[in-house]
Amino acid sequence: MARYLPLCFSLIFLSVALPASAEQSKTFGAYTVHYNAFTTNSLSPEIAKLYNIKRSNNRALLNVSILKQDTGAATKPVKARVTATATNMNSQLNQLTVRELIEAGEPDAIYYLAETTVNNGDMLTYNVSLTPDGESESYSFNFQQQFITE
């Protein structure tokens, strides 16, 4: 069972993200960045415990992954230096602590996660900046996500 938990984590991120909003991605040259944000109560207790994520209606989780176009049509996950902020409707800026999560597999999956608190109806503007390993150029984007917690 334990060897299937990373796969479950990936599937949960995918299944939680799609109902809340269509898959979100940005392309920067050979890199495609997939991202979403959702309340952590959407995670199962087992997954939340495994990845040390506090489950709550009032906690939002930012999830970012970066894929690089490889030979042909293949893509591969890449590491990056990722920073992020979240700004609410009152212009209160929150510098997020981003942590890297690597799921062993073939290939490995690499996620960048950051948590913040939210209230019912909050609309957060996320500003994300990343520099893929081995690159000198940084890429930035922003997106908004509203959270309904009740």
DSSP letter string, 23-45: -EEEEETTEEEEEEEEEGGGS-H
CATH code, domain carrying 69: 2.60.40
Residue 115 near residue 54, CB atoms below 8 Å = yes
Percentage of the chain beyond pLDDT 90 is 73
Q: Which long-range contacts (CB under 8 A, 24 or more apart) does 94-100 make?
A: 96/62, 98/62, 98/64
Total domain count, the chain: 1
Task: Look at residue 60 and tell me if it is in a domain.
Answer: yes
pLDDT, tens digit, for every residue of 82-128? 999 999 999 999 999 999 999 888 778 999 999 999 999 999 999 99
Give the pTM.
0.84
DSSP alpha helix (H) spans, the chain: 5-20, 45-50
3: nearest Cα among 93, 76, 106: 106
Task: Look at residue 25 and tell me if it is in a domain.
Answer: yes
Task: Look at residue 150 and tell me if it is in a domain.
Answer: no
Supply the range of the domain harboring residue 28: 2-80+97-120
The count of other CB atoms within 10 Å of the CB of residue 79 is 14
**Secondary structure letter of residue 19 according to DSSP:** H
